[in-house]
Amino acid sequence: MDAMGNWTAQHKFSYQFFKGLYERKLEHWSLKLGCQFFPYDTEFTHLREVFNMSEDRALMLDGTKPWYIGWSNCDERIARVLRQHYGRPYFLPTTAENKKVDWIFMGSPGYGAHMHVDNVEHPSWQAQLKGRKKWVLQPPPECYYHCGPLEVTVEQGEIS
């Protein structure tokens, strides 16, 4: 919790915050810039559609259709705004942060990716701003038959 001590992200970041931030920029936000959008099991095909959903659904009110999405931000102007609200945790090496891309995931509990593979060169990290996330880390191929999986639940306010 102390690594987020001077962050404002956990109080500022929300569906409404991102909608306001991206609404003016979505005309320029595209795969041409190298941005990625993950709709998972939703009908959304673009971030613009996400920010046009009903307020009730966005707030995940009872009776609304669940949703979960993720995207990479590749707009430097938006990155500057996002990074006013968080920083690389002090206990991680400087190589742990990709300075060009922020990944944002949000939506209904239990609807995220069931399997995700990151083949990264440097350590990566995740901050759980709201809710909780269960991670099951599988061993790399060279250790698959000798090592077991590692399971961890990251709670709100924790960094993993």
Q: Mean pLDDT, to the nearest integer, of 42-53?
A: 93
User: In the prediction, which pLDDT does 1 show?
Assistant: 56
What six digits make up the tokens of 150? 């590692």
Decide if pLDDT at 31 tops 50: no
Burial (Cβ within 10 Å: 0-12, 13-18, ≥19) of residue 70: middle
Report how far residue 140's alpha carbon sits from residue 153's, in angstroms, rounded to the nearest whole number: 20
Phi and psi (nearest 5°) for 27?
A: -65, -30
**Could you identify the residue written with the tokens 């509990």?**
109
Determine contact, residues 125/92, Cβ cutoff 8 Å. Answer: yes
The confidence band for 120, taking pLDDT boundaries of 50, 70 and 90, is confident
Whether residue 159 is predicted with pLDDT greater than 80 in this model: the reply is yes
- Of residues 97, 78, 79, 99, the one with CA closest to residue 89: 97
* CA–CA separation, 142 and 156 (whole Å): 33
Tell me what the pLDDT averaged over the chain comes to: 87
pLDDT higher than 80, residue 100: no
Listed ranges 99-108, 121-130, 143-152; the one with the highest mean pLDDT: 143-152
Q: Report residue 27's pLDDT band, with 50, 70 and 90 as the boundaries.
A: low
Phi, psi of 48 (to 5 degrees): -55, -40
pLDDT band at 104 (very low <50, low <70, confident <90, very high): very high
**What is the model's pTM?**
0.86
Could you tell me the residue ranges of all domains in the chain?
A: 2-119
Q: Look up residue 152 and give its two tokens.
A: 């961890």
pLDDT, residue 26, reads 63
User: What does the chain come to in residues?
Assistant: 160
Q: CA-CA distance, 25 to 150, in Å (whole number)?
A: 39
